[in-house]
């Protein structure tokens, strides 16, 4: 969900300036267009461009993301070596390594328990690949979203123990699995947790619990995804094994070759792309481009990923397909694909994931139509801080996507709930910048309003009884009203610069890519193009609007507005064929049959004659 999440962030930054870009006070999406840079930042941008020998617009992008003049050169060339932290800074990391090393020396059977999303799949498959390189076979258990629910459960742990597991490594889950791990203690099953979810003061009793978001952890790495934490664990484990006589002279696994999985999990979990996360993604994309992971390469082929992989490809093309198994099919498919080396098996799994993703899309379309009708009724009745929609006919594996769509459209937090026959709902929520949804959900759990729940500031999950639904909605609206009001007040689309279609060349976009990768807390640049001629506009695919923009110099630029057919943006583009429009969006390189061309993803538009000097 990378690009859509980026779009929701644009109105949070740049509010210090009041100059409407191109005079746009009210656009198709009912937004003012504001400059990202104030006077001081503009001077900083010019200094960065001059020192680093960059086009002014690239300097503007860097300055607009808080990059200081003295930091710019290093920022443009991030390295794992320079940004890597000492894994021992994380609480329990050394203890986790001690436990795993002892298990390896004793020849104990290891098992991995991972979450069913992309972060969990990449974490699990990365550990499985690592241990395979050591010559150690491990079992991997990915829970079924509906049968098992989230996280470790006593039944699954008993099954793994019965299969011979003596040490369990829980990844991307486990920080709140009190009951499951108490059962593990009675079985004599040792547990190590590698997680990143926010937790309270109380933690389950396990051999080691590594989580940079536990309250006694001062490492400052709370922005890492679980796969990022797991990679730090492997760095520490390699270091620990190197000290042992039996490993000192042997070649330990090359961790750099696993960074493609780290990049995929980091992007798809929408964690802030700063510090070590940014280096993970930059270097991971380079590894992915070499196509050494057979499963990833096969999935890229079936998803028609062309050219160099980008965060967009990871977040919008690979991630949804891996997630499809966990949403409506076999939850273990993604992890098996990413860990496998057999091409025939990989092709079979990738084809299955492709089919499941298509089924998921059809299911999502029906659920979204129903959810939007409910959201419309709630907005007609008032101004709810949080939208909560649900049904007893919805699939629980798709509710997160519905919440995301509603959040994007109405620019406020949204929950979608799937209720079962017993009246218990599985809900997923998505938030906007400045509204901590995870903290509110955990507080609701503490008040007894929810059966369970947790998450991050931008995404949360919960289980609730239908008879508590009205109380939950009331609690959310009361406790998030102020935060949501502030977020709604900051609705400007923040513009990084003004370009013409002719200036949007491949060379410029490649330089802009060096200022990335873009994602959470490092928003993708948005450029405005003044009075460009709409040479062509038509509907393609499932509600997308394809456009050809023309510049005054005779240049053309291909562009697309995703899922805009029924939105004001799409209607404006279609209604202005043959006329000029101001358009705003992000730029990327599209490679087709070996030829690279620039394309624009349009996120807003305005009619020039209606955008000048108009009061809000």
381-414 pLDDT tens trace: 988 999 999 999 999 999 999 999 999 889 899 9
Spatial neighbors of 14 by CB under 8 A, at least 6 apart, are 34, 35, 36, 37, 64, 492, 494, 495
Q: Provide mean pLDDT across the span 7-27.
A: 62
Contact at 8 Å (CB) between 310 and 517?
yes
Task: Report the C-alpha gap between 605 and 6 in whole angstroms.
Answer: 17
Q: Provide mean pLDDT across the span 145-154.
A: 86
pLDDT > 80? residue 504: yes
Burial of 424 (0-12, 13-18, 19+ CB in 10 A): middle
Contact at 8 Å (CB) between 174 and 204?
yes
- Write down the pLDDT at residue 18: 59
Domain 383-489, what fold? Diaminopimelate Epimerase; Chain A, domain 1 (3.10.310)
- pTM for the predicted model, two decimal places: 0.87
Task: Report the C-alpha gap between 123 and 133 in whole angstroms.
Answer: 16
Give the pairing of strands 33-35 and 493-495: parallel
- CATH class of the domain comprising 2-64+496-611: mainly beta
Long-range CB pairs of 52-55, under 8 A, 24+ apart, other chains included: 52/76, 54/511, 55/508, 55/511
What percent of the chain clears pLDDT 90, i.e. is strictly above it?
81
Spatial neighbors of 32 by CB under 8 A, at least 6 apart, are 20, 24, 25, 26, 491, 492, 493, 616
Least confident of 290-294, 322-326, 490-494, 540-544: 490-494
Contact at 8 Å (CB) between 75 and 62?
yes
Contact at 8 Å (CB) between 259 and 212?
no
540-562 pLDDT tens trace: 998 999 999 999 889 999 999 99
pLDDT > 90? residue 329: no
Domain ranges of the chain: 2-64+496-611, 81-355, 383-489
Task: Report the C-alpha gap between 166 and 136 in whole angstroms.
Answer: 14
- Write down the pLDDT at residue 246: 82
User: Which band of pLDDT confidence, cut at 50, 70 and 90, is reported for residue 616?
Assistant: very low
Coil, helix or strand for 102? helix
36-86 pLDDT tens trace: 999 999 999 999 999 999 999 999 999 999 999 999 999 999 999 999 999
- Write down the pLDDT at residue 1: 30
- CATH class of the domain comprising 81-355: alpha beta
DSSP states of 241-297: HHTSHHHHTS----GGGGHHHHHHHHHHTT----THHHHHHHHHHHHHHTT-SHHHH
Of residues 1 and 226, more confidently modeled:
226
351-381 pLDDT tens trace: 999 999 999 999 999 999 999 999 999 999 9
Q: Provide mean pLDDT across the span 121-130.
A: 98
Of residues 592 and 334, more confidently modeled:
334
- Write down the pLDDT at residue 565: 93
Closest alpha carbon to 460 in 475, 445, 477, 481: 445
What are the tokens at 502? 């002719």
Q: Which helix (H) or strand (E) holds 167?
A: strand 167-171
Beta strands in 511-594 (DSSP E): 527-540, 544-550, 556-561, 580-592
Closest alpha carbon to 127 in 114, 117, 116, 115: 114
pLDDT > 90? residue 489: no
155-194 pLDDT tens trace: 999 999 999 999 999 999 999 999 999 999 999 999 999 9
């Amino acid at each position: 969900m990378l690009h859509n999440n980026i779009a929701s962030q644009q109105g949070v930054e740049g509010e210090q300036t009041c100059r409407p870009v191109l005079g746009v006070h009210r656009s198709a999406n009912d937004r003012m267009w504001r400059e990202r840079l104030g006077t001081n930042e503009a001077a900083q941008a010019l200094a960065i461009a001059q020192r680093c020998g960059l086009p002014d617009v690239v300097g503007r992008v860097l300055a607009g993301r808080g990059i200081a003049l003295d930091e710019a050169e290093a920022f443009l060339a991030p390295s794992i070596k320079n940004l890597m932290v000492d894994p021992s800074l994380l609480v329990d990391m050394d203890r986790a390594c001690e436990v795993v090393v002892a298990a390896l020396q004793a020849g104990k059977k290891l098992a991995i328990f991972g979450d069913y999303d992309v972060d969990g799949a990449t974490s699990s498959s990365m550990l499985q690949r690592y241990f395979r390189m050591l010559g150690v076979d491990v079992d991997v258990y990915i829970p079924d979203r509906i049968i098992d629910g989230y996280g470790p459960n006593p039944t699954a742990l008993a099954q793994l123990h019965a299969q011979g597991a003596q040490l369990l490594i829980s990844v991307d889950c486990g920080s709140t699995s009190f009951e499951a791990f108490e059962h593990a203690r009675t079985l004599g099953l040792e547990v190590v947790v590698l997680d990143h979810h926010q937790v309270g003061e109380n933690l389950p009793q396990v051999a080691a619990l590594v989580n940079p978001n536990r309250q006694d952890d001062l490492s400052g790495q709370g922005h890492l995804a679980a796969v990022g934490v797991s990679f730090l664990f492997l760095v520490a484990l390699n270091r620990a094994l190197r000290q042992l006589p039996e490993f000192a002279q042997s070649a330990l696994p090359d961790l750099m070759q696993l960074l493609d999985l780290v990049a995929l999990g980091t992007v798809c979990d929408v964690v802030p792309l700063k510090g070590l996360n940014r280096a993970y993604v930059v270097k991971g994309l380079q590894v992915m481009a070499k196509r050494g992971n057979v499963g990833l390469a096969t999935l890229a082929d079936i998803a028609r990923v062309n050219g160099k992989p980008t965060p967009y490809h990871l977040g919008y093309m690979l991630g949804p397909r891996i997630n499809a198994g966990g949403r409506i099919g076999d939850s273990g498919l993604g992890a098996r694909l990413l860990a496998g080396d057999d091409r025939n098996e990989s092709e079979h799994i990738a084809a299955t994931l492709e089919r499941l993703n298509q089924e998921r899309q059809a299911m999502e379309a029906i659920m979204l139509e129903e959810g939007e009708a409910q959201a419309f009724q709630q907005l007609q009745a008032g101004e709810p801080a949080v939208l909560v929609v649900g049904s007893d006919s919805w699939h629980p594996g798709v509710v997160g996507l519905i919440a995301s769509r509603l959040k994007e459209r109405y620019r406020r937090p949204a929950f979608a709930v799937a209720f079962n026959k017993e009246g218990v709902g599985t809900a997923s929520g998505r938030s906007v910048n400045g509204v901590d949804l995870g903290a509110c959900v955990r507080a609701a759990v503490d008040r007894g309003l929810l059966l369970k729940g947790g998450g991050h500031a931008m995404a949360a999950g919960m289980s609730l009884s239908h008879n508590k639904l009205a109380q939950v909605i009331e609690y959310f609206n009361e406790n998030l009203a102020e935060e949501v009001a502030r977020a709604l007040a900051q609705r400007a689309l923040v513009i990084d610069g003004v370009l013409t279609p002719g200036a949007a060349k491949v060379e410029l976009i490649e330089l802009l890519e060096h200022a990335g990768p873009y994602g959470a807390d490092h928003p993708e640049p948005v450029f405005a193009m003044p009075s460009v001629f709409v040479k062509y506009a038509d509907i393609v695919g499932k509600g997308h609007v394809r456009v050809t923009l023309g510049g005054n110099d005779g240049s053309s630029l291909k562009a697309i507005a995703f899922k805009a057919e029924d939105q004001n943006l799409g209607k404006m583009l279609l209604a202005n064929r043959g006329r000029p429009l101001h358009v705003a969006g992000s730029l990327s390189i599209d490679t087709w049959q070996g030829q690279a061309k620039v394309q624009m993803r349009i996120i807003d538009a305005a009619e020039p004659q209606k955008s000048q000097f108009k009061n809000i």
